[in-house]
Copies of this chain bind each other. A is one copy, B any other.
Amino acid sequence: MELEHEPLEQLRNAIANSDAQAVDVCLENLSPAESSHAVVNLSEGDQTRLLKLLSDEDAAEIVETLPEAHAAQLLEQMSPGDAAAIVSELGSDDQADMMIRLSDAGAEAILAEMKPADAAETRRLMQYSPETAGGLMVTEYLAYVENLRCEDVVNDMRRNAERYRDFDVQYAYVVSKAGHLRGVLRLRDLLLALSTTRIDEVMLAKPKSVEVDTPLEELERFFDHHQWLGVPVVEANGYLVGIVKRVNVEEAAEERSSRHFLKFMGIMGGEELRTMPLRLRSFRRLSWLSINIVLNIVAASVIAMHQDTLSSVIALAVFLPIISDMSGCSGNQAVAVSMRELSLGLIKPREFWRVFSKEAAVGTINGVVLGLLLGLVAFAWKGNVVLGAVVAIALAMNTLLAAVIGGTVPMLLRGLGQDPALASGPILTTITDMCGFLLVLSLASYCLPWLTV
């Protein structure tokens, strides 16, 4: 079915022949999507051989396009020296991100092989949490001391054109001698100013900046309000340490959304790719499933305790999985809305009661509608009004409960500093399953005389 195996074969052959030029040609001929697809489909050995055949710069470019989990795995398999050469070519933000994903030993081995100054810089960046301004910033930026003249800056840019080539030079930053942020210098202002003007006369003074520990949500809001491409990052004392670019914030937000989705669906421990070893994939998935099966058994024990009722009215067994599944669906909708609103900053963990009442309203309406629907089906099937009523009431009440729990649990988890994506699902389904089973079976045991006619 893989129609595309020809370029992949060519790449394999070029690697097998250690033909660096042929490898270059292969990768050039592939579209970006095809080349990334081809690389992950090589054997592990071929992937590391490929990186060694490429120049460090080209290898770094390949590493940057691979999913991070995959790239980290690949770097660990290389010799620390080879890996260090590639890591040194990564952008400063990617460097720290990549090192954090490596094992401690792997990261240390690579850092030991890097130039001391580069390694120190990477270590410094690794200290910031990934979803803060410090973790997202780059350190490739231009900064000039405030007493320079425009011509000095232009001359410096001209002299170092080659070195600044990879910087997104759009703004330069103006700092005090001690390194504190003073202003922003726009290239076009520099372009239009007289060459002997001091840069602090042309700069935009008192520029907005963010502190290193500003969280991702706040950065998103910041860039929503300010149509800028980047913002300087400062220490608490105003010392300039980097630039957060809008694009990195968007990228981090995208990663967070996918991670939420993956976690909620039970993919833990970082993203899973089908190119990873079977044992790892199976183990990670099982670690989640085995928690769930225990919770499921706990919830189902409610049924075990009501076996007598169930054996008197065996029809109830048909409705137990329906009520469990439907409550899960209703609860998941509320979880999704809460997680979305939390990440948009539209609700805060402390607005518990507002979400509670909003969900209670939706849950009541939906519970009544779904309850009536299922109750009618039960009545139509067995011709027993009481059976219909028991099923209807149980589903209605449990839908209300699911909406309220689904809406509020992510907020409580967030308020407690926990990750709502990971735990909301299991908490929700365990509670709603137990309550659902309990509602059906205890209502039924109360109404037993009318159910067994």
Which A residues lie at the B interface, using CB under 8 A?
1-4, 31-33, 35-37, 40, 61, 64-65, 67, 91, 154, 157-158, 161, 166, 168-170, 187-188, 190-192, 217-218, 221-222, 224-227, 229, 246-247, 250-251, 253-254, 257-258, 260-262, 264-267, 271-275, 278, 281-282, 285-286, 288-290, 292-293, 296-297, 299-301, 303-304, 307, 310-311, 314-315, 317-322, 324-326, 328-330, 332-333, 335-337, 339-341, 343-348, 350-355, 358, 361-362, 365-366, 369-370, 373-374, 377, 381, 429, 433, 437
Contact = CB atoms under 8 A, between A and B. Distances in A.
Contacts of A324: 321, 324-325
Contacts of A36: 221, 224, 345-346
Determine how many copies of this chain the complex contains: 2
Given A261-B340, A285-B362, A293-B370, 9 more contacts: A2-B354, A32-B224, A40-B346, A253-B254, A261-B264, A290-B370, A293-B374, A296-B322, A321-B437
B265 A335 contact: yes
12 contacts: A1-B351, A32-B222, A229-B247, A247-B247, A265-B333, A272-B337, A273-B337, A286-B369, A286-B370, A290-B373, A317-B320, A325-B325
A32 B366 contact: no
Contacts of A246: 247
A350 B3 contact: yes
A300 B361 CA distance: 29
Contact of A303 (B271, B311, B318): B318
A103 B258 CA distance: 30
A374 B343 CA distance: 37
Given A65-B221, A224-B36, A257-B258, A320 B320 contact: yes
A31 B254 contact: no
A267 B355 CA distance: 17
Contacts of A290: 369-370, 373
A265 B227 CA distance: 32
A325 B266 CA distance: 13
B31 A332 contact: no
Nearest to A303: B318
Contacts of A227: 91, 166
Nearest to A229: B168
Contacts of A369: 286, 290
Nearest to A407: B274
Contact of A311 (B168, B282, B314): B314
Contacts of A293: 322, 326, 370, 373-374
A333 B266 contact: yes
Contacts of A351: 1-2
A274 B229 contact: no
Contacts of A311: 311, 314
A401 B345 CA distance: 40
Contact of A292 (B254, B264, B329, B335): B329
Nearest to A317: B317
A350 to B, nearest CB: 5
B289 A366 contact: yes
B254 A250 contact: yes
A191 B154 CA distance: 9
